[in-house]
Amino acid sequence: MALERTLSIIKPDAVAKNVIGEIYARFEKAGLKVVAAKMKQLSRKEAEGFYAVHRERPFFNALVEFMISGPVMIQALEGEGAIAKNRDLMGATDPKKAAPGTIRADFADSIDANAVHGSDAAETAAVEIAYFFASTEVSAR
Ligand code: RTP
Ligand code: MG
- Nearest Cα neighbor of 5 from 113, 124, 104, 136 is 124
Per-residue model confidence as pLDDT tens digits over 111-133: 999 999 999 999 999 999 999 99
- Nearest Cα neighbor of 75 from 1, 2, 3, 5 is 5
Taking 90 as the threshold, does the pLDDT of residue 1 lie above it? no
pLDDT band at 141 (very low <50, low <70, confident <90, very high): confident
**Nearest bound ligand to the CA of residue 7:** 1
The dihedral through the CA atoms of 88, 94, 95, 98 has a sign that is negative
Q: List C-alpha distances in Å: 109 to 40, 115, 133, 140.
A: 22, 8, 28, 36
Q: Is 117 a residue of the active site?
A: yes
* 125, 7 Cβ separation under 8 angstroms: yes
Distance, in Å, from the CA atom of 106 to the CA atom of 90, rounded to the nearest integer, reads 10
pLDDT band at 91 (very low <50, low <70, confident <90, very high): very high
pTM of the model: 0.97
Q: Which atom of ligand 1 is nearest to the CA of 53?
A: 12
* Amino acid (1-letter code) at residue 88: D
Taking 90 as the threshold, does the pLDDT of residue 5 lie above it? yes
Distance, in Å, from the CA atom of 138 to the CA atom of 127, rounded to the nearest integer, reads 14
Per-residue model confidence as pLDDT tens digits over 35-59: 999 999 999 999 999 999 999 999 9
**pLDDT at 140 (0 to 100):** 87
Distance, in Å, from the CA atom of 75 to the CA atom of 77, rounded to the nearest integer, reads 6
Strands (DSSP E) along 68-129, which ranges? Answer: 72-80, 116-118
Residue from 55, 57, 75, 114 to probe ligand 1 pocket by mutation (most atoms less than 8 Å from CB): 114
